[in-house]
Structure formats: C-alpha cells, structure tokens
Amino acid sequence: MSLTIKAETKGALLAFIGAMFIVPDSLYVRLIDGDGLVTAFWRNVIAGLVIALLLVLTSKGSVRQTFFPLSKIGIWYAICVSVSSISFVVAITNTSVASVLYILAAMPVFTAILGRLFLNDAVDKAFGLVMVFVLVGLGLIAFHSDSSGINSGFGNLMAIITMMGFSVSVTLARKEKSKSMLPALSIGLLISGVFIALIVDPIEAFNLKPELYLLHGVTLAIAVSALAQAARYTKGSIVTLFMLLEAALAPIVAWYVFSEYPGALVIGGGLLVMMTVALYGVWSVVKPHA
C-alpha cells in the first residue's frame, strides 16, 4: 500500500526536525572534550531518561504496560540503538568529525537497500538522482583536506558500525510502523549507559561540565525521538537522507562556534547537499501518490 500524502508530510517534517537537532551532536562531543565512553554514558542516559519521562507522563497505562513487553523487533531495535549510540561517540573521539560524517553519509543508500530487501520499498529514480547530487556535494567537502590531521582506523570502524546500526534501526521501525519504537529507544539508550558504567566512572566528569552534558542529552532525546517516529510514516531512506544535513551543516556550525573556517569547498558542498535534500523533501511531500 502506498503512503498517503498526510503520512509523507508528517514523516518528512519529523525527519527534518530530528535532523536539525542531531546537527550539534558531534559539536557537543567536541565541546565536552572528555573521555568518549563517559560522554556516551551521559549523552545516552540523559536522553533515555528524558524519553522515558515523557512516555510515562503521556501514557494512559501503567509504566509496565508502557515499556513491556517489547516485541522481537523492539528488542533488536533497542540493541541497535544501544550499540550505535556508543560507537558514534567513540568514533568522534577517535577520528576526525569529517571522517565520521562522510561514513554516515552512506546511510541513505544502505537504508534504501535494506528497505528494498526486507520491506519491498520501491526506490524511485528521483532518489537516485538526489544521491548523485548529494555525493557530489559530500565529495566537495571531502576534497577539502582535514586540518586536524586526525584519522584512526579504529574510529572509522566505529563510524561504520554506527552507520549500519542506525540504518538497521530505521528499517526495523519502518517494519513495525504500527507501534511506537520510543519505549525501545529509551530502553536501548539506558542499557548502553548501564554497560558503560561497568567500564568507567562517569560521575567526576559530569561535575566539571554538567550544563553541557544535560544539553547534549536533551538535544539527542528530541532528535532520536523525531527520527524514530518519522520512520513510521515514510521510507527509512528518506529519514536517513535528511540526516545528511548534519554532514553539510556541522562544519559550518563548527566554523561559527570554534572559528574554524571550513573552506570554500566545504561551504559550497554543504549548500549543495542542503538544497538537494530540501528540494527532495518538498517533492516527496507534494508529488502525486497512488
């Protein structure tokens, strides 16, 4: 059954909101400038608690009914969220932000393939054309040499795991679109915190920059909640396509915050990605639906 215009509109809007709130994610990691696992702990636990609190306040049933039992898909979704939420921060702290964002730029293609294989989603010609322009834009950004000189094979591997984990989670949310994945999302984030707490002590670091940790967690909660809900209303490939806005905007925001001029190629490539994604988002909403 084809998606209705109302569903496409809602999905595109939620994806856009989630993408805009995910943009500062890597910048918060840079601002905190601490141990990657400690940052991941507070980022994930605060976001998980915020989502859980909102679910409890808005739920008509008991807490147990709100969160349990999870379906098999919900359990796998929580696992994917738990793994990718840790690997992202570890990647950012072990390699350049640019390298991480370029690897994550493969999400729309990977998600489209998963959607085609497991959900029988059609991949329209417009999406293929959009990816050509997006790859050109990202290529312009990547062509600009990384002034940090930081590049780690381990960090890049963590970025690949993040890309795959998020793509799978979006596909799972789409497969079980009749149910909200927010309970599984909250549980996955909190489980990752429990796992990290077995390895490091996060308390001392929090006392140094509590406001940054709190803002990071709350911002992430808004972003991932919107993206999780977006996957219920539109294709996963469209959701992850909007997330490419982070690759386009993060270097520009870093220029403003850290006074790091990204270069003309980065700005030009970022504008190309933003314009292409914006035009495709509008077209996906207003196009005729069968």
Residue 250 placed within a domain: no
Cis, bond preceding 183 (omega within 30 deg of 0)? no
- Within 13 Å, how many C-alpha atoms sit on residue 244's CB side? 35
Per-residue pLDDT of the chain (290 residues; tens, 9 = 90+): 444 557 777 888 899 899 999 888 888 888 888 888 999 999 999 999 999 999 999 887 677 778 887 899 999 999 999 999 999 888 888 877 767 777 787 788 788 888 888 888 877 777 778 878 877 877 776 665 454 445 567 887 888 899 899 999 999 998 998 888 999 999 999 999 999 999 999 998 999 899 999 999 999 999 999 999 998 888 887 888 888 787 777 767 777 776 766 667 767 776 787 788 777 766 765 665 54
Compute how many other C-beta atoms are within 10 angstroms of the C-beta atom of residue 103. Answer: 22
Structure confidence at residue 1 (pLDDT): 41
Residue 55 placed within a domain: yes
Residue 135 placed within a domain: no
Residue 177 placed within a domain: yes
Residue 248 placed within a domain: no
pTM for this predicted structure: 0.80
Find the domain containing 74 and state its range. 5-122+149-236
Q: Which pair of tokens denotes residue 124?
A: 């329209």
Residue 12 placed within a domain: yes
How far apart are the C-alpha atoms of 150 and 98, rounded to whole Å?
10
Residue 271 placed within a domain: no
Structure confidence at residue 3 (pLDDT): 47
Query: Which of these, 181, 17, 42, 155, lies nearest to 97 by C-alpha position?
Result: 155
Q: Give the number of domains in the chain.
A: 1
H-run or E-run covering 166: helix 153-175
Query: Which of these, 191, 193, 205, lies nearest to 43 by C-alpha position?
Result: 193
